[in-house]
Structure 1
Amino acid sequence: MMILMIKKLAPLCALLMLSACGFHLKGMGTHTQLPVQNWQISGGALQESLENAMRHVLGKRLIFSGSPEAEIRVLSVDTKKDIYVITRAARINEYLFSMRVHAQAYRDGKAWGEPMQIDIKRTLPYSDREVLGKAEEESTIWHEMQTDASEQIVRRLAFLPTYPSTTAEP
């Protein structure tokens, strides 16, 4: 009887200990608070994933009444696929995917905060025997990298100063 009771209480105790230390599943728990609520997004290749990341944080659709308070612009997205590992038999064993994103927040037509640079790298094991499956896996990796870059941009927006800094001109 006692052992049965311990088996039932063990998962509950583990759950309580995890929640007490601040553990939470990805996408759950603390939410990013942005300095403004109405954003215009000029995301280029990241438009869809950036809109999804903003919707997740703002908890609403990105339809603005009137003009947006701020804008986030993706200035460039550079992608690269390199051979990462070659076997002794001179066959490709692994690829390295790299994505570099430059973005900038704007408020009242002026740059707001520092320019953002996001660098993401992923590897893909490769085999000549699995070519068809690897094409789909490559597509999935690129999509996940776009999502990751968009989420990083949105998290960085939370650290923008409340008001754009004004610099005195000489």
Structure 2
Amino acid sequence: MKLYTLPLMSLIVLCLLAACGFKLRGQISPLPFKSMYVMAPDGHTIGLEMERLIKNSSTTRLATTRTEAEATLDIISAVNERAILSLSGGGRVRDFNLIYRVIYRVLDQRGIEIVPNTEIALTRILPFLDAQILAKEGEERLLVKEMQSDALQQIIWRLSAYKAPAESSQ
């Protein structure tokens, strides 16, 4: 292989990646709120993860109470489900469908809903073998954690696109 072909091939690969719309994940877009309070279901880690994400990646300040926040993110529920997707000819489970659902809304300082109840539902397929039960349990935990992370990213992206309605001056 000639020495000049490596840079040429690298350039071709970069052009192909750019043409398909690929881009590296960048920082989260700034949220349109100066301060935000996060409410989450008791005993669920999604609230702590959301607070960490906002604190590390945004210009929005985390409020310690609901009254001092410009907006409140109320995570109403975060549920993971597992449903049988397919069975073998002998009636054994071959695949599970993992479903992660998050329902949230956003309230302003006065408690008025500015973003209505919104659901994000993510699914993953988990192939299953009886001989690998322990490995599949670990894989399932990993997939659920990944789906939670994806759901949080989607919430942040959706909130960053929020535009407050214009005040009518009459």
Question: TM bucket by the smaller chain?
Answer: 0.7 to 0.9
Candidates 24, 34, 39, aligned match of 2:36: 39
Q: Secondary structure at the match of 2:123?
A: strand
Assess, with a 3 A threshold, how the Cα gap between structure 1 residues 82 and 21 changes in structure 2: closer, same or farther.
Answer: closer
Structure 1 gaps of 5+ residues are: none
**1:65-100: per-residue Cα shift (whole Å, max 9, x none)?**
x92211101011232111111000111101111122
AA aligned to 1:136 is: G
Residue aligning to 1:104: 105
Aligned residues: 163
Farther off after superposition, 155-164 or 52-61: 52-61
Q: In the TM superposition, what are the counterparts of 1:4-153 in structure 2 within 5 Å?
A: 4-15=3-14, 18-19=17-18, 23-25=22-24, 27-28=25-26, 31-44=28-41, 45=44, 46-58=46-58, 62=62, 67-108=68-109, 109-153=111-155
Q: Normalization by structure 2: what TM-score?
A: 0.80
Secondary structure in 2 aligned to 1:4? Answer: coil
1 CA distance for matches of 2:13 and 2:85? 41
Deviations 1:108-160 (A, max 9, x none): 12111232111111111000100111111111111111111111111111222
Q: C-alpha displacement at 1:163, in angstroms?
A: 4.7
Displacement of 1:61 in angstroms is 7.2
CA contact (8 A) 1:112 1:160 kept: no
Residue identity (%): 26
Residue 153 of structure 1 aligns to a residue in which SS? helix
- Contact preservation (8 Å) 1:34, 1:158: yes
Normalised by the length of structure 1, the TM-score is 0.80
Deviation at 1:19, TM superposition (A): 4.7
